[in-house]
A = this chain, B = another copy of it.
Amino acid sequence: MSYVIGLDYGTNSVRAIVVRTADGAEIGTSVWNYAHGDAGIIIDSRDTNLARHHPKDYIDGCEAVMKGAVADATKREPGFTAAKIIGIGVDTTGSTPLPVDKEGTPLAFKAQFADNPAACAWLWKDHTSHREAVEITSLAAKMRPQFLAKCGESYSSEWYWSKLLHCARTAPEVFDAAYTWVEVTDWVPAFLTGTESPAKLKRGICAAGHKAMFHTSWGGYPDVEFLVALDPRLERVRKNLPDVAYSVKDVAGGLTADWAKRTGLPAGVPVAVGAFDAHTGGIGAGIGEGDLVKIIGTSTCDLMAVPFARKMPDIPGVTGVVPEAILPNYHGIEAGQSAVGDIFNWFVNRIAPGGKEMGSHAELTRAAEKLVPGESGLVVLDWHNGNRTVIGDQRLSGVIMGLSLYTTPAEIYRALIEATAFGSRAIMERLEEYGQKVTQIINCGGISVKNPLVMQIYADVMARPIKISRSAQTSALGSAIAGAVVAGKAAGGWDTFEEAMTAMTGTLPEEFHPIPANVAIYEELYRLYMQLHNDFGVKTSPAGASGNYHAMKELLNIKDRVRSGK
């Protein structure tokens, strides 16, 4: 019997699982909460857009969860030993770029940057770069429209170049000291395999293609002329970047002797090139042609895999269409929602309705279950953290319409769930509009397993049957599968992702089927949602005359001005 490890770096914690390569059984697990900041996130009360990770948490967490998962597996699985681990895969959030020096050492580890959040990893949900995102989008629209066509016509404040540019302008001391910026998803396999040096480090296509405008059709990363038009200082950054990118079928390197010693694993165990958690989640869900895989967590990613043989149009509004971002020989489509679980958590933890006993997710779910669609008279825009797809505007904000003096926490909670389902349907409709027929939906992530109400609402709103991945840790499982594939069949793993997914993934017996009466009401409510969506979210006239788009943005401008004291 052989085993693999999947390492999954989330927003607040890191997890490792030990998985049987034969059948995908998860036989050991361990979680470590990041030690820095507020629940692991370094924030700034004067600027709610800021969200950073300290890279020390990645290393400390790695050791803790690898040891923890191995110990757990040793206890639970007869015959298991750490020596039987044949491969490791890694996934992380992203785009989460980290400034490093010429040796690949994070600037955050240096004394002079110890208290500088700009030297930390810029977490995916950091939106400080929203102005730079607009600037990149409008320059690309003029100079390089092909760049935008691959990322849904809008470059995001969550992404690599926005963040670098913002750093250059607001923390030049960090920008100048950084030899290059490495996505955390590339940096973790590098430090495990001693390939942190930028000369050796393998960058993954998942991060490069989705977040840094890397595409083989224009020779990799954006050209110097384009970057210099944004800021001349980007020329140096571009020159330190490679012209190739790798996929999860590739080996980043072998586990170093130091990490072998720290964890008890065999030295030299192959570590796969890293990918984003959503994309390995697609693998862990067993993604195939026609599947819409939804990784539902704090935010949501929607994935489809389209065989190279099929025609693949550009799709406006999706986060990206990138060859091999999920699987070898498939185009990967990524779309998503900037906040889903985070919205439910906002309501439960920040608003904390109904006192401590009544306001838990479980209690609110129980009360929300008793409501029928439409009876609350509420429609919500699920933009508490902006809109990723199909509008692509991180500065949008949440709206609740229909409040009365009788509106209850359970009604709001249900309306928040419904809003995320409507947002999800808007994504599916965009994909289908561009020829990507969805034959089944597979949901993954904790909420999918834990909250049948959410799943039923999704089935009713999207009017499709919904399956749930049998793994509660699909991203980590997908990483583990990558570990099994880079190990290869000869070593006790698998030679292809198709073989590995067939053996190691599956869905739960319980499926959620649309209830016709609910589908009918949600059809109406979805139209109202889209009314607000298009009114608040989309400039409907070239002159920008749509009143509420303008109103929402002006309100944010006032907020920014007041908070910055200007």
Which chain A residues have a beta carbon within 8 Å of chain B's beta carbons?
A: 48, 339, 342-343, 346, 350-356, 358-359, 372-379, 383-385, 397-409, 412, 521, 524-525, 528, 531-532, 535-536, 547-548, 550-552, 554-556, 558-559, 561-563
Q: How far is the CB of A162 from chain B (nearest CB, A)?
A: 19
Pick from B379, B399, B402, B408: contact of A350, CB below 8 A: B408
Most chain B Cβ neighbours within 10 Å, of A343, A555, A561: A555
Cα–Cα distance between A354 and B384 once the two chains are bound (Å): 19
Inter-subunit contact B342/A405 (CB<8 Å): yes
Inter-subunit contact B397/A377 (CB<8 Å): yes
Q: How far is the CB of A557 from chain B (nearest CB, A)?
A: 9
Cα–Cα distance between A374 and B550 once the two chains are bound (Å): 16
Inter-subunit contact B555/A377 (CB<8 Å): yes
Residues in chain B near residue A536, CB distance under 8 A: 401
Closest to A346 in B: B405
Most chain B Cβ neighbours within 10 Å, of A397, A402, A561: A402
Inter-subunit contact B385/A404 (CB<8 Å): yes
Inter-subunit contact A558/B397 (CB<8 Å): no
Closest to A352 in B: B354
Cα–Cα distance between A448 and B212 once the two chains are bound (Å): 56
Residues in chain B near residue A339, CB distance under 8 A: 405
Residues in chain B near residue A342, CB distance under 8 A: 405
Pick from B351, B379, B384, B403: contact of A404, CB below 8 A: B384
Residues in chain B near residue A402, CB distance under 8 A: 397-399, 552, 555-556, 559
Cα–Cα distance between A562 and B373 once the two chains are bound (Å): 8
Residues in chain B near residue A562, CB distance under 8 A: 372-375, 521
Known: A375-B563, A535-B535. 16 other contacts (CB 8 A): A350-B406, A350-B407, A351-B353, A351-B354, A352-B409, A353-B353, A356-B356, A374-B558, A377-B558, A398-B403, A399-B401, A401-B552, A521-B562, A525-B558, A528-B558, A548-B548
Inter-subunit contact A532/B558 (CB<8 Å): no
Residues in chain B near residue A384, CB distance under 8 A: 403-405, 407
Cα–Cα distance between A373 and B378 once the two chains are bound (Å): 27
Inter-subunit contact B397/A399 (CB<8 Å): no
Residues in chain B near residue A409, CB distance under 8 A: 350-352
Closest to A416 in B: B403
Q: How far is the CB of A43 from chain B (nearest CB, A)?
A: 9
29 of the cross-chain contacts (CB-CB < 8 Å) are A48-B404, A346-B405, A352-B353, A352-B354, A352-B358, A352-B359, A355-B355, A356-B356, A374-B559, A375-B559, A375-B563, A377-B397, A377-B558, A377-B559, A384-B404, A384-B405, A384-B407, A385-B404, A397-B403, A398-B403, A398-B407, A399-B399, A399-B400, A399-B401, A521-B562, A528-B551, A528-B555, A532-B548, A535-B535
Cα–Cα distance between A383 and B405 once the two chains are bound (Å): 9
Cα–Cα distance between A372 and B528 once the two chains are bound (Å): 34
Pick from B356, B358, B405, B559: contact of A385, CB below 8 A: B405
Cα–Cα distance between A409 and B351 once the two chains are bound (Å): 5
From known contacts A355-B356, A401-B397, A401-B399, infer whether A535 and B547 are also in contact, taking CB-CB under 8 Å.
Answer: yes
Q: How far is the CB of A25 from chain B (nearest CB, A)?
A: 36
Residues in chain B near residue A405, CB distance under 8 A: 339, 342-343, 346, 350, 384-385
Q: How far is the CB of A272 from chain B (nearest CB, A)?
A: 32
Residues in chain B near residue A525, CB distance under 8 A: 555, 558
Cα–Cα distance between A556 and B402 once the two chains are bound (Å): 8
Closest to A342 in B: B405
Closest to A351 in B: B353
Closest to A403 in B: B398
Residues in chain B near residue A524, CB distance under 8 A: 554, 558
From known contacts A399-B399, A532-B548, infer whether A521 and B558 are also in contact, taking CB-CB under 8 Å.
Answer: yes
Residues in chain B near residue A355, CB distance under 8 A: 352, 355-356, 359
Cα–Cα distance between A351 and B407 once the two chains are bound (Å): 8
Closest to A343 in B: B405
Most chain B Cβ neighbours within 10 Å, of A373, A375, A405, A408: A405
Cα–Cα distance between A552 and B353 once the two chains are bound (Å): 25
Residues in chain B near residue A383, CB distance under 8 A: 403
Cα–Cα distance between A343 and B406 once the two chains are bound (Å): 10
Cα–Cα distance between A563 and B373 once the two chains are bound (Å): 10
Closest to A350 in B: B408
Cα–Cα distance between A373 and B343 once the two chains are bound (Å): 25
Q: How far is the CB of A458 from chain B (nearest CB, A)?
A: 20
Cα–Cα distance between A558 and B378 once the two chains are bound (Å): 10
Closest 7 CB pairs of A and B: A398-B403, A377-B559, A374-B562, A531-B551, A375-B562, A48-B406, A374-B558
